[in-house]
Amino acid sequence: MQEIIINNWIKTYLIGAMSKTQAKDGGTGWRKDLQEELELRIDENNNPIFVFNPCNEEQSKVGLNPIEYHRKINGWLNAGHNNKVAEGSDLIWEGKHYIVLDEKGKPFLKVIP
């Protein structure tokens, strides 16, 4: 796997609601559609746009999709287990993140705990 610094690439963060959305999909629907469209585009140097999708990141770190995870958070809050919410948040933000290329040249986020 090739590891490169891509400071000169265009990057975007798909910010928006995840816990309470009009579509009741954990914020995944519009992000998936937009991510697919953006990943088809390239800049003047043939570099792809790196799209950071927080729904994917959250799921990879806590092991649940956003809808399931937010239900769990609400359960913890209702039961007074605020410490569990903090532990879950720590899982999401833990580690150093950097972008590497896979065998096909597609960028992805790598996390080092």
Q: Report whether 53 contacts 14 (CB < 8 A).
A: yes
Residue 3 in domain? no
Higher pLDDT among residues 99 and 72, named by residue? 72
Q: Report whether 52 contacts 11 (CB < 8 A).
A: yes
Residue 68 in domain? yes
10 Å Cβ neighbour count for 7?
A: 7
Residue 17 confidence class, pLDDT cut points 50, 70, 90:
very high
Residue 1 in domain? no
Full residue range of the structural domain in which residue 29 is found: 11-112
Mind listing the pLDDT tens digit for each residue in 45-90? 888 888 999 998 888 888 898 899 999 999 999 999 999 999 988 8
Say how many domains are in the chain: 1
